[in-house]
């Protein structure tokens, strides 16, 4: 009896090892799961996020399909239509990255028209997604040095731009931005490059409104001086690139109906 009692006491003293081993095993499983979650790629999570948003973002007071008689199938739909959600997400992503067809047509028509008028060399046209930017290089004669007055060549370009913008979709807007290089200004009219760039942008916007008959609510103007260079101001060539006025035509994502043409 004494021997059995001693054996039982030794077993009871070792029972803590079983609990300890269980705890270590659970901790290991926990950290493995956490590591696996951390390694999930965003490309796998995005379709799931898209599906959740599509299923749970509903208008107030509207019962989602499948909710009648307690048979709401939102979660089931997410699981069953994983491939469909993935495909829809990819299509929406491609749509966001694609260039608006109206802007593409506008850029091609504007480029062709400026070449006919022999004004294309001093103008850069860039189209990306829902924006078209027309850069007027102020170092190419569009503005006199230290001046914000609209010259005849500048007016000719602005007339062409205005003729193309009269039939823009309702949700299209125009932003005019002025920039300079980092050389100190030598003009009594403008104390700084910032004020010169702002005056140029404002004069261009005013011309588009007053002479080009563009709706004023479409247009905004801003000047950034030397503080947002396109390229480093480390050479005269680069500084000439930074001296510019950008006219950006911005389309809403839904603005796909309309036309672009030269208005006489």
Domain harbouring 105, CATH code: 3.30.1330.60
Question: Do 92 and 105 lie in a common domain?
Answer: no
**Distance between CA atoms of 215 and 259, rounded to whole angstroms?**
17
Which residue range(s) make up the domain with 218?
A: 101-250
Question: Do 237 and 122 lie in a common domain?
Answer: yes
The string of pLDDT tens digits covering residues 112-142 is: 888 787 766 678 888 887 889 999 887 677 8
**Distance between CA atoms of 176 and 115, rounded to whole angstroms?**
22
pTM of the predicted model as reported, rounded to 2 decimal places: 0.60
Question: Do 116 and 91 lie in a common domain?
Answer: no
Specify the pairing of strand 173-179 against strand 244-250. antiparallel
Question: Do 117 and 57 lie in a common domain?
Answer: no
Per-residue confidence band for 264, with pLDDT thresholds at 50, 70 and 90: very low
> Which residue among 97, 115, 143 closes a domain?
97
Q: Picking from 7-21, 44-58, 71-85, which range would have the lowest pLDDT averaged per residue?
A: 71-85
**Distance between CA atoms of 51 and 116, rounded to whole angstroms?**
50
Question: Do 7 and 123 lie in a common domain?
Answer: no
Comparing 75 with 206, the larger pLDDT belongs to 206
Please check whether residue 260 lies inside any domain of the structure: no
Please check whether residue 263 lies inside any domain of the structure: no
* Domain count across the chain: 2
Closest CA to 162 of 148, 143, 176: 176
- The pLDDT of residue 15 is 74
Q: What percent of the chain has pLDDT over 70?
A: 65
**Distance between CA atoms of 153 and 204, rounded to whole angstroms?**
12
- The pLDDT of residue 65 is 46
Give burial (CB, 10 Å; 0-12/13-18/19+) of 215: middle
- The pLDDT of residue 44 is 60
Q: What angle do CA 154, 159, 160 make, to 5 degrees?
A: 100
The string of pLDDT tens digits covering residues 237-263 is: 899 889 999 999 998 765 444 444 444
* Section 219-223 average pLDDT: 95
Question: Do 218 and 175 lie in a common domain?
Answer: yes
> Which residue among 68, 97, 126 closes a domain?
97
Please check whether residue 26 lies inside any domain of the structure: yes
Instruction: Indicate whether 93 pLDDT > 60.
Output: no
Please check whether residue 262 lies inside any domain of the structure: no
Q: Residue 47: how many CB atoms within 10 A of its CB?
A: 19
Question: Do 157 and 240 lie in a common domain?
Answer: yes
**Distance between CA atoms of 211 and 205, rounded to whole angstroms?**
10
Structural tokens at position 238:
């680069």
Question: Do 141 and 220 lie in a common domain?
Answer: yes
Question: Do 29 and 54 lie in a common domain?
Answer: yes
Which residues, including other chains, have CB under 8 Å from residue 186's CB and lie 6 or more apart?
A: 145, 146
Question: Do 151 and 215 lie in a common domain?
Answer: yes
Please check whether residue 106 lies inside any domain of the structure: yes
The winner for highest mean pLDDT among 34-43, 86-95, 214-223 is 214-223
Please check whether residue 122 lies inside any domain of the structure: yes
> Which residue among 53, 68, 97 closes a domain?
97
Question: Do 234 and 159 lie in a common domain?
Answer: yes
Instruction: Indicate whether 78 pLDDT > 50.
Output: no
- The pLDDT of residue 67 is 43
**Distance between CA atoms of 225 and 201, rounded to whole angstroms?**
11
Average pLDDT, the chain: 76
Question: Do 89 and 133 lie in a common domain?
Answer: no
The string of pLDDT tens digits covering residues 147-187 is: 899 888 888 889 988 988 877 887 789 999 999 999 988 77
Helix axes 82-97, 42-56, angle to 10 degrees: 100
């Amino acid at each position: 009896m004494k021997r059995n009692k001693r054996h039982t006491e030794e077993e009871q003293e070792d029972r803590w090892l079983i609990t300890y081993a269980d705890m270590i095993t659970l901790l290991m499983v926990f950290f493995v799961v956490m590591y696996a979650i951390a390694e999930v790629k965003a490309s796998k999570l995005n379709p799931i996020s898209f599906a959740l948003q599509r299923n749970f973002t509903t208008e107030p007071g509207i019962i989602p399909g499948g909710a009648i008689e307690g048979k709401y199938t939102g979660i089931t739909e997410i699981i069953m239509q994983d491939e469909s959600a993935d495909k829809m997400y990819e299509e929406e992503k491609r749509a966001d990255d694609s260039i608006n067809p109206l802007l593409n047509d506008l850029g091609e028509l504007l480029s062709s028209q400026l070449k006919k008028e022999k004004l294309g060399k001093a103008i850069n046209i860039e189209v990306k997604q829902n924006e078209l930017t027309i850069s007027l290089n102020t170092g190419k004669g569009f503005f006199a040095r230290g001046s914000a007055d609209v010259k005849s060549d500048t007016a000719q370009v602005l007339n062409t731009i205005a003729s193309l913008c009269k039939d823009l979709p309702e949700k299209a807007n125009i932003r005019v931005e002025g920039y300079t290089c980092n050389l100190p200004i030598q003009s009594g009219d403008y104390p700084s490059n910032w004020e010169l760039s702002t005056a140029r942008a404002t004069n261009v916007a005013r011309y588009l409104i007053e002479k080009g008959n563009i709706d004023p609510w479409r247009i905004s103007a801003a000047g950034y001086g030397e503080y947002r260079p396109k390229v480093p101001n480390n050479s005269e060539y680069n500084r000439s690139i930074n001296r510019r006025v950008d006219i950006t035509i911005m389309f809403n994502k839904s603005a796909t109906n309309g036309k672009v043409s030269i208005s006489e």
